[in-house]
Amino acid sequence: MQHSAQSATTPSSASPLLVVGSVAYDDVETEFGARKDLLGGSATYFSVAASLFTQARLVGVVGNDFRDRQIFADHGIDTRGLVTDASGDTFRWGGRYHADMNSRTTLYTHLNVFERFRPDIPEGWETSPFLFLGNIDPELQLDVLSKVRPPRFVTMDTMNFWISGGKRAAVLSALARVQGVLVNDEEGALLTGARTALGMGRGIQKLGPNTVVLKRGEHGALLFHGPDIFYVPAYPLETVIDPTGAGDTFAGGFMGYLARTGDLSLDNLRRAMLAGSILASFCVEGFGLDAVRTVHLDAVRRRYTDFESLTRCPSRLL
């Protein structure tokens, strides 16, 4: 069952959320098994998670082998921006997770048509009030920013390959033009040289974004927003089946919640962090999209209640 109830539950006040990123097929091995040809990619996980809260608009590219548009339709995701490049196959990634799930070995990366991806923004989408720039070439992220009217709230992701490779200047240019960024510890360290989460958060803020989300996998995530900090743990799970896509799912839950509510206050950013952490917790409970594509808002609300108890500080120490 998909959460196709999206169209029924998304209030008319929700803003559309534009995402530019990868759509891929993944081969994944964890200690719980091996799966082939899983629908994946950063924009896929992001948009499926976001679709629980608002309408997602997806800009990406697939090859002539792609056969999964229906999944996006089931979630009310607009794929007018998902172009088919018939000259090749869809991006393919294969990886194997180590027993502790905290590290993985990439078995192969076949960019295929993604190597020639040039994002086109469909007519009408350039005014999307919320925008997420997934982990693509930072020059393409800058290109997208030049093609849209400044959104109300724009965030980006990036990765070690761009930061440490020849594109560091472009990454810094993009960072200077967005309001928010979501990165993991490794990327935070590469961007800032800092060793601690606080050092990374404050260091990235100096590069431009007022809002920094540091994603730490099983250790949760930290929000830096102006002078404020908010910490959300990972939802405690007995078993993690497949961590693939958890970071993109977090980003989709975070941005989807903000686009739905239209409230960029600190308190609402806290809620968005919790929404991201909750969606990511569902993501890792199944291979690929198996678990996250069937989540309903009631299940999200139940985990939210669990979080309130999980992190509640009683007043007064001494």
Q: Does 238 bind a copy of itself (CB under 8 A)?
A: yes
8 binds a copy of itself (CB under 8 A): no
- Give the Å distances, CA to CA, from 42 to 91, 118, 250, 261: 11, 16, 11, 23
Q: How far is the CB of 112 from a copy of itself (least distance, A)?
A: 33
3-state secondary structure of 221: strand
Q: What angle do CA 284, 289, 292 make, to 5 degrees?
A: 65
Task: Give the CA distances from residue 114 to residues 50, 119, 141, in Å, rounded to whole numbers and listed in that order.
Answer: 22, 10, 14
Footprint (CB under 8 A) of a copy of itself, residues 285-314: 297, 300-301, 304, 307-314
| Angstrom distance (rounded) from CA 161 to CA 269 | 29
**Per-residue x/- track, 205-234, a copy of itself (CB under 8 A):** -----------x-xxx-x-----xxxx-x-
Count of residues that interact with a copy of itself, criterion CB under 8 A: 49
Separation CA 155–CA 257 (nearest Å): 13
Task: Choose between 56 and 278: whose C-beta lies nearer to a copy of itself.
Answer: 278
Within a 10 A sphere around the Cβ of 29, how many other Cβ atoms?
17
Between residues 86 and 99, which has the closer beta carbon with respect to a copy of itself? 99
CB 163 to a copy of itself: min, Å = 17
Site string for a copy of itself, 176-205 (x = CB under 8 A): -------------x----xxxxxx-xx---
Q: CB burial class (10 A; 0-12, 13-18, 19+) of residue 195?
A: exposed
280 binds a copy of itself (CB under 8 A): no
Chain residues in the site for a copy of itself (CB under 8 A)? 99-101, 189, 194-199, 201-202, 216, 218-220, 222, 228-231, 233, 236-240, 257, 267-268, 270-271, 274-275, 297, 300-301, 304, 307-315, 317-318
